Amino acid sequence: MDACGCGDGFEIFDQQSADADLDRYRRHGPDRTTAMLLGMIRERGVEGASVLDVGGGIGVIDHELLGAGAGYAVLVDASPPALAAARAEARRRGVLERLEFVDGDFVSRSASIDAADIVTLDRVVCCYPDVESLVRLSSSRARSAYGLVLPRDRLILRVGLRLLNIWFRLRGFRYRSFVHPNARVDAIVAGSGLRPAREERTFVWRVVLYDRAAPPA
């Protein structure tokens, strides 16, 4: 799972996690659901677009969209090792001057973060307890498109994550995972004037791209 934008309890996204994520990305490219979201975004066009990647970890979405023609990206993440890995990869790819790094919890830092044409949260909603603030503040900054990868609202996943959270607690980690109601997420996004445009699913994940609704004539 990619590093999240959580301001507290992100200790599992450490140096070892960042190194493993970067090595996997360099060897195999984006993970399956990340690739699904990227495909949806590329289909609508990214040339010259600005990108805000919330909780983007090592910056896979940023590297891919900058490589596809996006003009500029901002990566917000609360894991310093993940940001360091993202910076190293951006330097290797020659896009460092087009990628800005913000260290910290997006919700806490949101007042100082500008809107972008495309906003993404790839496996971040499942990391954050306050889904209302996270989705409302991030979706309101999407000028054109808003992409999410989040767990499907299924009983089996709720039970599985409950057991996983027990394991985290026994290990002394503060990190917790969440299955937030998908209908509630959609309603919050709709409140920002966005509507679902494309959607794909796996057994675990829901991948959805929202477009900003045109103003009434």
Closest CA to 55 of 166, 151, 134: 134
Q: What is the pLDDT of residue 9?
A: 63
Please give the full DSSP string across the chain, using - where no structure is assigned: ------SSS-TTS-HHHHHHHHHHHHHH-S-HHHHHHHHHHHHH--TT-EEEEET-TTTHHHHHHHHTT--EEEEEES-HHHHHHHHHHHHHHT-GGGEEEEES-HHHHGGG---EEEEEEES-GGG-S-HHHHHHHHHTTEEEEEEEEEE---HHHHHHHHHHHHHHHHTT---------HHHHHHHHHHTTEEEEEEEE-SSEEEEEEEEPPPP-
Contact 12, 3 (CB under 8 A): no
Q: What is the pLDDT of residue 2?
A: 37
Q: What is the pLDDT of residue 214?
A: 55
To 10 degrees, what angle do helices 182-191 and 131-139 make?
A: 40
- Domains belonging to the chain, first-starting first, are 15-212 (3.40.50.150)
Tell me whether strands 205-212 and 142-151 are parallel, antiparallel or unpaired.
antiparallel
Q: What is the pLDDT of residue 32?
A: 97
Q: What is the pLDDT of residue 201?
A: 97
Cα 31 from Cα 54, distance rounded (Å): 17
Q: What is the pLDDT of residue 154?
A: 93
pLDDT one digit per residue (tens) for the chain, 217 residues:
333 334 456 677 889 999 999 999 999 999 999 999 999 999 999 999 999 999 999 999 999 999 999 999 999 999 999 999 999 999 999 999 999 999 999 999 999 999 999 999 999 999 999 999 999 999 999 999 999 999 999 999 999 999 999 999 898 888 899 999 999 999 999 999 999 999 999 999 999 999 997 554 3
Tell me whether strands 194-201 and 205-212 are parallel, antiparallel or unpaired.
antiparallel
